[in-house]
Amino acid sequence: MMRKLRLGMVGGGEGAFIGAVHRSAARLDGHYELLAAALSSDPHRAARSAAALGLDPERSYADYRDMARAEAARPDGIEVVAIVTPNHLHAPVATAFLEAGMHVICDKPLALSLQEGEALAALARQQQRVFALTHPYAGYAMVRHARSLVREGALGALRLVQVEYQQDWLSQPIEQDGQHKQASWRLDPARGGPTGCLGDIGSHAYQLAAFVTGMQPAQLSAELCRFVPGRQLDDHAQMMLRYANGARGLLWASQVAAGCANALRLRIFGSEAGLAFDQERPDELWLTPVGGTAQCLRQGQVDSAAARHANRVPVGHPQGYQEAFAQLYTDAAEQIRACQQKRVPSAASLEMPTIKDGLAVHRFIDAALASHRQNGAWTEIRG
């Protein structure tokens, strides 16, 4: 049996949401063993969180820099670190562990700015380390099948791309009462970044559309809104997109869409057929030829190498968000082992989002902010 990769984690202690998701994803396919962590910058909270996970107290840290140095010095030190902190720490933590020789699996976004992201990309290349970015919707089997269909030309020439992501959890000013940790840091420019809703979930919508279509827009016209009084960052964003091949697109994201839980939807229309994916029904993909009947393609029944690679359960059984997240960890494990063994990784594992995806999202956000400041003027997205 192949040994498990030695995993560390920064962030994700008691009271955190995404840390538990990452730990479950790392466990699901059996490729990793969590051995060390800096789960909080508060030493007592870090120790309590580590104890709850059964970690060795000697490998529980309150400072990620101490953790990077100490683990690099151990013969059994970690090989890869998962970063699940608030956004402003992603680049500093990733830098510390890349410099210490570790591979990185980082929650999105890559950094707070394009400049930070480009510095990370240069460091990862210099250190020759794998850098996975967890845009988990790219891990769904049916999303990967959709990407295959587009690549194979099943839709013909792409003409229209429509992607939307709606939630309602920020419909009230919950970040202002001091009780909602997730809301407070996400809507704080110093910790969350220059955008709110656009960076938090609009980035997922953008990445999903780019992943499936294989295209990045060339220009956009954007409007960002703050519906809740007193809010520092946007809670709603909408925009038009222009692609180099002449296709047109629409993207809107909102965290004040009453009644919506996690409504991420993608529709693509080509000269021959249309394709639709709904994240709340991730086992289905709807393919409709021009003038024809809509066909529901189901996870476990479609026959593509990409879908088979990301499928875990028999047909008719639900496969969802946690499995999609785990797929990214599994792809990262294959790439890390290939790096260690000095071989080429499997082609299927290369579907995993990386720093390249993170940089594309930063360029998109920069263009959207510039367009918004100019009252929605059409703005080039840097290549």
**pLDDT tens, per residue, the chain with 383 residues:** 689 999 999 999 988 889 999 999 999 999 999 999 999 999 999 999 999 999 999 999 999 999 999 999 999 999 999 999 999 999 999 999 999 999 999 999 999 999 999 999 999 999 999 999 999 999 999 999 999 999 999 999 999 999 999 999 999 999 998 889 899 999 999 999 999 999 999 999 999 999 999 999 999 999 999 999 999 999 999 999 999 999 999 999 999 999 999 999 999 999 999 999 999 999 999 999 999 999 999 998 898 999 999 998 888 888 899 999 999 999 999 999 999 999 999 999 999 999 999 999 999 999 999 999 999 999 999 97
Closest CA relative to residue 24, chosen from 104, 100, 134: 134
**CB within 8 Å of 304: residues ≥ 6 apart:** 144, 145, 148, 149
Q: Which two tokens stand for residue 165?
A: 């992501």
Residue recorded with tokens 């988990």? 136
Give the model's pLDDT for residue 330: 98
Give the model's pLDDT for residue 329: 98
Is the domain 5-129 a CATH 3.40.50.720 member?
Answer: yes
How confident is the model over 82-120, as pLDDT tens digits? Answer: 999 999 999 999 999 999 999 999 999 999 999 999 999
The domain ranges of the chain are 5-129, 138-325+359-380
How confident is the model over 223-266, as pLDDT tens digits? Answer: 999 999 999 999 999 999 999 999 999 999 999 999 999 999 99
pTM: 0.96
Give the model's pLDDT for residue 313: 85
Instruction: Give the Cα separation of 145 and 166 in Å (integer).
Output: 24
SS in 3 state form for 4-31? CEEEEEECCCCCCCHHHHHHHHHHHCCC
Give the model's pLDDT for residue 1: 64
CATH superfamily of 138-325+359-380: Dihydrodipicolinate Reductase; domain 2 (3.30.360.10)
Q: Which two tokens stand for residue 174?
A: 């919950």
Instruction: Give the Cα separation of 30 and 291 in Å (integer).
Output: 46
Same fold, 5-129 and 138-325+359-380: no
Closest CA relative to residue 135, chosen from 153, 159, 109, 113: 109
Describe the crossing of helices 203-213 and 355-373 by its angle, rounded to 10 degrees.
120
